[in-house]
Chain A
Amino acid sequence: MQGEVYPKVYLYRRIVKAKLFIDENFAENIDLDNIADTAFFSKFHFIRLFKKTYTKTPHQYLTSVRIERSKLLLQEDIPVAEVCYAVGFDSVSSFTGLFKRTTGITPSAYQQERQRIRQEIKSAPLKYIPNCFAESHGWAKKSNFQEAEI
């Protein structure tokens, strides 16, 4: 592949590096001013460019990453308070409020819903698989699928 030549590639690489830093260090107490400095931007310029690229400010993006990661941990049945601190929040009430504003339900309700879905996938997997695929694999309801060991 030939070398890429497009305007301001160096700017994009610095913004992407900042985003990837947030992705990898979201659980830490990140100082977004430090990220701006590391990327050789003024704080204002950094926020403006980041938002133009990702439609979120760095702080909004950090919050969204923490909420998304918290969903994964909640699916593993880890207690809500533990999830809160594991993803970098320092207040369970703030975490719960942010989670509910983002998803529409509380972390506990989300965890219970995921438990219900997991149980249903085990007990009635054909509810989650298109019939055509199930039939092509010999898993249609009228077959001996229920006798297959899962």
Chain B
Amino acid sequence: MSIFVLDQDNAYEFYVNKLGFKVHTDAPMGPGARWLTVCPPEQPDLEIALMAINEGMMFTKESAHAMRDLVSKGTFGFGVFECNDLLATYEELKAKGVEFKKAPTQEFYGFEALFTDDSGNWFSLGQKAK
């Protein structure tokens, strides 16, 4: 899966050093281009690409600008992560500076918190059923 990020260096800092994800591939691909993928520590086969939003083959200048605007406004929620203990994970991530849109709350569908990455993308964080 892919997540669009505003800056790959900052995204590396967030996903690797704050969330504790592992680097799967970090390959320079020419001037201003980098293939950077990470994976959750317990899912080495789930490769998540941290995609830069740059003018080029994928984006025109206008669409790159629009996409960056949408990302920074928190338009995109890219999925759901699960952890063993939501309260402990919440306290740890908060201590590391991760921003939460919603503290752990019991919803009708489960125990859930919402956090954002450094670009503005948001994710649901739930607790594995015991």
| CB < 8 Å A-B pair total | 63
Q: Give the contacting residue for A139; candidates B28, B29, B49, B85; CB below 8 A.
A: B29
Q: Give the contacting residue for B30; candidates A1, A13, A19, A150; CB below 8 A.
A: A150
The closest CB in chain B to the CB of A137 belongs to B57
Q: Give the contacting residue for B91; candidates A13, A125, A133, A139; CB below 8 A.
A: A13
Cβ of A104 within 8 Å of any chain B Cβ, yes or no, is: no
By a CB distance below 8 angstroms, the chain A residues around B90 are: 4
Mark B24-68 against chain A: 1 for CB-CB distance below 8 A, else 0: 010111110101000000000000010000001110000000000
- CB atoms of B57 and A138 under 8 A apart: yes
- CB atoms of A54 and B85 under 8 A apart: yes
By a CB distance below 8 angstroms, the chain B residues around A4 are: 90, 103-104
Mark B66-104 against chain A: 1 for CB-CB distance below 8 A, else 0: 000000000000000000110110111001000010111
- CB atoms of B84 and A55 under 8 A apart: yes
What is the CB-to-nearest-CB distance from B70 to chain A, in angstroms, rounded to a whole number? 19
Which residues 98-150 of A have a CB within 8 angstroms of B?
121, 125, 128-129, 133, 136-139, 148-150
Bound CA–CA A82/B57 (angstroms): 45
Q: Known: A16-B95, A129-B35. Is A137-B88 also a contact (CB below 8 A)?
A: no
Bound CA–CA A150/B91 (angstroms): 41
Bound CA–CA A20/B18 (angstroms): 11
- CB atoms of A19 and B92 under 8 A apart: yes
By a CB distance below 8 angstroms, the chain B residues around A6 are: 87, 104
Bound CA–CA A13/B90 (angstroms): 10
Which A residues are closer than 8 A to B by beta carbons? 1-2, 4, 6, 9, 12-13, 15-17, 19-20, 52-55, 121, 125, 128-129, 133, 136-139, 148-150
Which B residues are closer than 8 A to A by beta carbons? 25, 27-31, 33, 35, 49, 56-58, 84-85, 87-88, 90-92, 95, 100, 102-104
A-B contacts, 9 of them at CB < 8 A, read A4-B90, A16-B88, A54-B84, A54-B85, A121-B25, A129-B27, A137-B33, A148-B29, A148-B30
